[in-house]
Amino acid sequence: MPRATPNAPRPPRRAASAPPIVWAIAGTDPSGGAGIAADLKTLQALGVYGAPVVTAVTAQNTRALREIERCSERIVRAQLRALAEDLPPAAVKIGMLGGAAIVRVVAEALAELTAPAVCDPVLAATVGGALLDAPGRAALVELLLPRLAALTPNAPEAAALTGLPVETPEEVRRAADRLLAMGPRAVVLKGGHLGGRESRDYFTDGRESFWMASPRLASRNTHGTGCVFSSALAAGLALGRTPAEAALWAKAYVHQGIRRGPALGGGRGPLAHPGPPRAARDFPRRETA
């Protein structure tokens, strides 16, 4: 045997066993707090492989949203086809879509898949500014909701999609039931915008309904909580958790992220992404509804 020379390439290491793939279909946010960067950090931290499909580019920071440029249908369709041919997903996360044309392209791609899809019906940015126009909203209701494993609106999004008021616990339940009747197999209506000492989210899949309650944290670091929650839920589904288990895990991940968020920027800062939640205090209390 010849002696190994110092510069000889090392023999290849055995590939690690393949993690489940999650497609993240969303817009970009250069602050890294929200959008597709937040999705990828979340997916990585939770042990799945994130494949990013960009639908729009935004210019924003922790203080304000400045500009949006939507991708063409053509390039979004091409990204989805490239993934479909080579990297089939175990779950799909859908965030900002921008307009009806891209909603249609994404709905067509979902029709070819069996993997569960989670949609965060992104209508506005954390720092203000519309991220989906009115025709896009109508297309989302008509084409996308019926194809989803889970829909994860916050209270203003649930109100916009149903036309119902969403403020009291009873209104939250009624709006979630209405959304469930619009097609998704589960709805998590997030109560982060509703105020109160606790942040209370409502889960229903028509068979099982419960509240997920966590103490509200006094923090500015809530940029992209919607993106992070829906990505964590998709990661849970990709790893074989039920939608209810995945929702509880996702809320724990967001709570941990806000609690440990780095102090960055002068406005709404990003969450931390230190890995799967483990501390008992990050897990929500589950209350049967």
**Sites of contact with ligand PXL (CB under 6 A):** 26-27, 29, 34-35, 58, 60, 95-96, 122, 125-126, 131, 224, 226-227
Q: Is 190 a catalytic residue?
A: yes
Q: How far apart are CA 224 and CA 271, in angstroms?
A: 8
Q: How far apart are CA 223 and CA 258, in angstroms?
A: 9
Closest-by-Cβ residue to ligand PXL is: 35
Question: Nearer Cβ to ligand PXL, position 95 or 269?
Answer: 95
Question: Nearer Cβ to ligand PXL, position 92 or 131?
Answer: 131
Please report how close the Cβ of residue 26 comes to ligand PXL at its closest, in angstroms.
Answer: 6
Question: Nearer Cβ to ligand PXL, position 145 or 205?
Answer: 145
Name the active-site residue from 33, 224, 261, 265.
224
Residue at token pair 């203080």 = 63
Q: Is 222 a catalytic residue?
A: yes
Element (H, E) at 106: helix 100-111
Name the active-site residue from 126, 222, 236, 261.
222
Question: Nearer Cβ to ligand PXL, position 104 or 223?
Answer: 223
Residue 147 CA, chain-centre distance (Å), reads: 16
Please report how close the Cβ of residue 3 comes to ligand PXL at its closest, in angstroms.
Answer: 55
Other beta carbons within 10 angstroms of residue 52's beta carbon come to 18
Q: Is 227 a catalytic residue?
A: yes
- Specify the pairing of strand 285-288 against strand 209-215: antiparallel
For the chain, first and last CA: distance in Å?
71
Six token digits for residue 103: 């909603």
In this structure, the chain runs to a length of: 289
Please report how close the Cβ of residue 130 comes to ligand PXL at its closest, in angstroms.
Answer: 11
Q: How far apart are CA 69 and CA 131, in angstroms?
A: 10
Question: Nearer Cβ to ligand PXL, position 106 or 227?
Answer: 227
Name the active-site residue from 28, 126, 162, 225.
225
Please report how close the Cβ of residue 94 comes to ligand PXL at its closest, in angstroms.
Answer: 10
CA angle 59, 233, 29 (to 5 degrees): 5
Residue at token pair 């589960």 = 186
Please report how close the Cβ of residue 13 comes to ligand PXL at its closest, in angstroms.
Answer: 36
Name the active-site residue from 32, 35, 226, 257.
226
Name the active-site residue from 126, 227, 251, 269.
227
Q: Is 225 a catalytic residue?
A: yes
Q: How far apart are CA 23 and CA 27, in angstroms?
A: 13
Q: What is the set of active-site residues?
A: 190, 222, 224-227
